[in-house]
């Protein structure tokens, strides 16, 4: 493809600005003409604003020929509907945008709806009219809610009325057909079925044959938060939109976008450009609300920043009929959110001439963009408002919540009189995005489920070696079984279960509330025994502590007693162990042991009887029960909440401690009558491993269960954990009970009887047993996202507000592998550490080093400034300083930067420049610290994070961590041990500086500040 091409963009809004910005990045484009453009577009690289009559097709075509324009991109639909593409094609100029006949898919809604029907494209039921009385009769007699009234022609985005009732729909019909509210555009009206659901936009590039879709986006039409107030041209958007499932996206590609392009081609109407499908996600799948024949606004402004490919190359391929999927690639695991700033009076009117401030501040931020919709420049160069929608602030981030927070923060930062903007853009999608993409795991909180499963496999042979006559089964089930008859006794099977309470004890200890964890202890053991159909008979406890506190211990044992009463079993004994060397003062641990009995013929699970079609009945939980608390505590830390704070999810105003310490339900008394009825085939206790790992423990091979989460109440605490913690669907289902503390399986003919016997537990049918096919998961949960979202959305605003807090902008200077850089990246991108900073630039004085690859993998901009190209240190440092300032850096970290900095640079960044040294300063300064440590024979060394001064390794000490030195150490071994300490200490020091807990005084000493 030739370089030095010229292109023309027709239009002058935010959409056209985003297109111009993206095209300017192409090495094939030399000049970008824009007509009429706006002041913001005019500031982009390669852009020239021109004044031609864009409504005069011939004038535009002749101008393009004269200027040797290679490609014309048409933004607004009105020019396509007038045939601009036809005029350009006639003289051999490529146009990215369809001809007039294809633009009818947007310009004529009557034609478009008929086209959808002809080609079996899913859409709302409808009928068109030119007579108002006939239209009103249809509204009143249609077998569906015919409450959507559309002017068939182009009405500047204002020709759609979504009525609340028949009267409003009839009034809209009269306005359009009788009163001629939209002129010629309203001579025909389309009356449509009112669909309910979420609206999503799906756009695609096409050359008339091939369709390459973009990620789905969601626009926000109403002027005010919560979708209140009048409609607008769009107050913001985000992408990708997670409300369309993967299957639904594929369906839209094939059943909507490809069908439309194929249908147009069959009717000899080639479509070249962007095809936009406005969709409603209905219970019956996505349906088309409308087609547009061009890029959407504001969707374009959040889609194009995610495009990795050369936009010019893609557009040329569309025009030349050579489009293929490999030409289009996107940034992965990145979300974009855009917030429109509108002028005073919008949408009824607009205010012009207000001075806009703060735009350049936002543009300097990493992954932040500002696209202009309606701006102008004053005679003295000030940026002014010049329309209803003024600008859009766009931010990219690894999570949708963070992208929304950054975009909203940017919108708040930009100032002009009368500014309006929504603070809830993207909030609808945040819950679903967390369920799909949430990265916080149980493992990240220190609990490795896979390791636990592996341990069972490793120890099984050893455990089996202890078997004696009477042992039944092996480890891995809910309880241990012993056949007393086989051992020579005339008694039934004994079932034993043992468990603890886990880190829920940490909460009890911190809250000084010990009376409920004893109930948990009993529950965890006896519920496991119940899983084998056994009635719990007796219980023993084990209480271990550092120092025995009679008050604490008595509260715990009273809880055990209460648990035994609820379980109907005897507390026959226990053990108290006081071990000061094992536990810290005030800490304790618990273990419990339950023994139950069951007749061998009644032993559960009856795996040989469970079959396809059996019913799964759920027993509601009381809360988190006693599993997943390491993750719960991590989420609480992420939320910066105390156990004494009122829980934001509590429906009764209880504190976090009170809500989280709700005891585990004991199902004995409600289950025993069911067990004796012989109606059930299995009972599974939902403990560690959640729904997806506990239910398979009672199933035979080759069968699984299909559960419907809409059938049970997913408790508010789980929505809070998922949203605030960023815990995805898979991790929620394999860590928590999600509202179901146990399940029973029975035959369909016993369903009603079992549910009735369990009515005290509010039991409900939640699924079916199914034969597994095609590697389907053994536990499949449908409608989980929908069930969770209603609770999750209650906390979205708080989450976004917390994420909107400004982060200190950090630049890191490196020379090599960047292991300390990686530690800083991991810490700043981990929300649980709350570092209060983000790395916005990494500069290396050497090219090709591993540290640069680490930064690029994390999506952090990099810059190579080779010191060998400079004659002196200060000249090099000045260019480094300029790049740091350009990126908005506030703190500079040296991470293996092998250059001595000039006095100029150190003084420029004094108090904001830190380094890490591999020894415990002030000992062993210089480049050979590890060798010096070994030569002097010291027994302790470590690392030091310090402020940088002109004298090497002499600045005020911020953080230190020690490591031992062993007689057998070499420099290499010691270096690796110290490096691990460095990876912990450096992020801690950065957090202290970023959170302003410390600052460097003028005299070079360290000042510690009090926490708020």
Query: Which DSSP letter does residue 38 get?
Result: -
* Bond before 605 cis per omega within 30 degrees: yes
CA angle in degrees (0–180, nearest 5) for 423-425-429? 135
Name, in order, each residue with C-beta under 8 angstroms of 622's C-beta and a sequence gap of 6 or more. 662, 663, 664, 665, 741
C-alpha to C-alpha distance for 29 and 1, rounded to whole angstroms: 10
> Average pLDDT per run of 10 along the chain, which is 1012 residues long?
84 97 97 96 96 96 96 97 96 97 96 97 96 94 94 85 93 93 92 94 98 97 93 94 94 97 96 97 94 97 97 98 96 95 93 95 91 95 95 95 94 96 96 87 61 53 54 58 60 88 95 95 95 90 89 90 90 84 91 91 94 97 94 91 95 96 96 93 95 95 95 97 94 96 97 96 97 89 94 93 88 95 92 87 96 92 95 95 94 95 96 97 94 96 96 94 96 96 97 94 92 56
The half-sphere exposure of 51 on its side-chain side, counting CA atoms within 13 A, is 0
For the chain, give the longest Cα–Cα distance: 105
Predicted local distance difference test score (pLDDT) of residue 547 = 87
Question: Closest Cα to residue 820, out of 958, 982, 582?
Answer: 982
Predicted local distance difference test score (pLDDT) of residue 478 = 59
236 three-class SS: strand
Is the Cβ–Cβ distance between 456 and 377 less than 8 Å? no
C-alpha to C-alpha distance for 865 and 870, rounded to whole angstroms: 10
877 three-class SS: helix
Question: What crossing angle do the helices spanning 517-530 and 504-511 adopt, rounded to 10°?
Answer: 160
Which residue, chain included where needed, has tokens 């440092």?
Answer: 877
Predicted local distance difference test score (pLDDT) of residue 459 = 42
Phi, psi of 772 (to 5 degrees): -80, 140
Predicted local distance difference test score (pLDDT) of residue 455 = 45
481 three-class SS: strand
Predicted local distance difference test score (pLDDT) of residue 463 = 42
Name, in order, each residue with C-beta under 8 angstroms of 589's C-beta and a sequence gap of 6 or more. 500, 505, 543, 544, 545, 583
Give the strand order in the sheet containing 703-708.
Answer: 680-685, 740-746, 615-620, 764-771, 703-708, 779-782
CA 511 vs CA 643, 645, 749: distances in Å: 7, 11, 48
Active site residue 930: no
Which of 17, 147, 625, 917 does the annotation list as catalytic? Answer: 917
b/e map 642-678, b = 16+ CB within 10 Å: ebeeebebeeeeebbbbbbbbbbbbbbebbbebbeee
């Amino acid at each position: 493809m030739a370089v030095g091409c010229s292109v023309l963009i027709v239009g002058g809004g935010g959409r056209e600005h985003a297109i111009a910005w993206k095209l300017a990045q192409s090495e094939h484009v030399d000049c970008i003409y824009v007509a009429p453009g706006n002041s913001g577009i005019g500031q982009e690289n390669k852009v020239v604003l021109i004044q031609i009559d864009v409504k005069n097709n011939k004038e535009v075509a002749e101008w393009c020929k004269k200027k040797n324009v290679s490609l014309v991109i048409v933004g607004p639909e009105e020019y396509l509907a007038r045939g601009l593409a036809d005029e350009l094609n006639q003289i051999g100029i490529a146009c990215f945008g369809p001809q007039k006949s294809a633009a009818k898919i947007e310009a004529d809604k009557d034609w478009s709806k008929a086209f959808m029907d002809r080609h079996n494209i899913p859409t709302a039921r409808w009928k068109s009219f030119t007579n108002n009385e006939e239209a009103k009769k249809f509204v009143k007699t249609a077998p569906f809610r015919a409450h959507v009234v559309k002017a068939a022609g182009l009405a500047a985005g204002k020709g759609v009325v979504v009525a609340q009732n028949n009267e409003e729909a009839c009034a809209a019909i009269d306005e359009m057909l009788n009163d001629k509210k939209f002129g010629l555009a309203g001579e025909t009206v389309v009356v449509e079925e009112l669909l309910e659901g979420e609206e999503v936009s799906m756009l695609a590039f096409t050359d008339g044959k091939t369709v390459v879709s973009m990620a789905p986006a969601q626009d926000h039409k109403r002027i005010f938060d919560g979708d209140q107030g009048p409609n607008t041209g769009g107050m913001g958007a985000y992408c990708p939109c997670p409300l369309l499932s993967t299957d639904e996206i594929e369906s839209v590609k094939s059943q909507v976008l490809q069908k439309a392009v194929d249908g147009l081609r069959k009717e000899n109407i080639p479509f070249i450009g962007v095809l936009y499908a406005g969709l409603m996600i209905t219970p019956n799948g996505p349906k088309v609300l409308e087609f547009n024949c061009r890029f959407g606004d504001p969707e374009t402004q959040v889609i194009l920043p995610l495009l990795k490919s050369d936009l010019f190359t893609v557009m040329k391929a569309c025009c030349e009929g050579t489009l293929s999927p490999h030409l289009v690639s996107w940034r992965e695991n990145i979300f974009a959110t855009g917030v429109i700033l509108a002028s005073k009076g919008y949408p009824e009117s607009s205010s012009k001439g207000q001075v806009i401030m703060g735009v350049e501040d936002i543009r300097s931020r990493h992954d932040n963009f500002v696209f202009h919709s309606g701006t102008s420049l004053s005679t003295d160069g000030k940026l002014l408002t010049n329309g209803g929608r003024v600008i859009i602030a766009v931010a990219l981030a690894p999570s949708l919540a963070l992208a929304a927070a950054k975009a909203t923060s940017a919108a708040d930062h930009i100032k002009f009189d009368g500014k309006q903007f929504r603070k809830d853009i993207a909030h609808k999608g945040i819950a679903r995005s967390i369920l799909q993409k949430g990265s916080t795991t149980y493992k990240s909180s220190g609990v490795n489920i896979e390791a636990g499963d592996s341990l069972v496999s490793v120890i099984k042979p050893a455990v089996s070696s202890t078997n004696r006559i009477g042992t039944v089964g092996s480890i891995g089930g809910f309880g241990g079984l012993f056949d007393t008859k086989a051992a020579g006794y005339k008694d039934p099977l004994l079932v034993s279960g043992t468990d603890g309470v886990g880190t829920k004890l940490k909460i009890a200890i911190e809250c000084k509330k010990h009376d409920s964890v004893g109930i948990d202890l009993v529950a965890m053991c006896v519920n496991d025994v119940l899983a084998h159909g056994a009635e719990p008979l007796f219980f023993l406890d084990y209480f271990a502590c550092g120092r025995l506190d009679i008050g604490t211990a008595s509260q715990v044992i009273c809880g055990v007693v209460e648990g035994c009463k609820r379980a109907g079993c005897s507390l026959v004994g226990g053990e108290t162990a006081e071990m000061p060397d094992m536990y810290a003062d005030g800490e304790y641990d618990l273990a419990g042991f339950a023994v139950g009995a069951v007749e061998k013929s009644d032993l559960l699970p009856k795996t040989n009887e469970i079959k396809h079609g059996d019913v799964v009945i759920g027993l509601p939980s009381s809360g988190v029960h006693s599993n997943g608390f390491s993750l719960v505590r991590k989420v609480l830390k992420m939320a910066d909440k105390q156990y004494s704070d009122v829980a934001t999810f509590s429906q009764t105003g209880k504190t976090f401690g009170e809500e989280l310490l709700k005891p585990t339900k004991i199902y004995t008394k409600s289950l025993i009558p069911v067990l004796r009825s012989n109606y059930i085939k299995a009972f599974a206790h939902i403990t560690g491993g959640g729904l997806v790992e506990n239910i398979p423990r009672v199933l035979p091979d080759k069968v699984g269960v299909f559960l419907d989460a809409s059938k049970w109440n997913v408790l508010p605490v789980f929505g809070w954990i998922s949203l605030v913690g960023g815990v995805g669907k898979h991790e929620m289902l394999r860590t928590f009970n999600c509202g179901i503390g146990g399940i029973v399986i029975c035959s369909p003919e016993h369903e009603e009887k079992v549910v009735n016997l369990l009515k005290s537990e509010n039991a409900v049918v939640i699924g079916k047993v199914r034969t597994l096919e095609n590697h389907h998961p053994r536990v499949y949960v449908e409608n989980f996202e929908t069930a969770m979202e209603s609770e999750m959305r209650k906390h979205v605003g708080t989450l976004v507000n917390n994420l909107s807090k400004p982060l200190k902008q950090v630049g890191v200077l490196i020379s090599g592998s960047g292991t300390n850089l990686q530690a800083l990246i991991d810490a700043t991108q981990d929300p649980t550490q709350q570092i209060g900073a983000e790395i916005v630039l990494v500069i290396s004085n050497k090219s090709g080093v591993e540290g640069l690859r680490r930064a690029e993998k994390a999506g952090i901009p990099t810059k190579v400034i080779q010191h060998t190209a400079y004659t002196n240190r200060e000249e090099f440092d000045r260019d480094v300083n300029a790049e740091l300032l350009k990126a908005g850096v506030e703190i500079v970290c040296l991470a293996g930067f092998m250059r001595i900095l000039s006095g100029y640079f150190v003084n420029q960044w004094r108090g904001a420049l830190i380094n890490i040294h591999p020894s415990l300063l002030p000992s062993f300064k210089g480049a050979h610290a590890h060798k010096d440590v070994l030569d002097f024979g010291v027994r302790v060394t470590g690392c030091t994070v310090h402020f940088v001064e002109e004298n090497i390794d002499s600045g005020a000490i911020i953080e230190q961590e020690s490591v031992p030195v062993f007689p057998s150490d070499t420099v290499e071994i010691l270096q690796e041990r110290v490096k691990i300490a460095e990876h912990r200490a450096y992020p801690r020091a950065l957090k202290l500086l970023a959170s302003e807990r410390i600052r460097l005084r003028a005299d070079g000493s360290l000042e510690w500040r009090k926490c708020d």
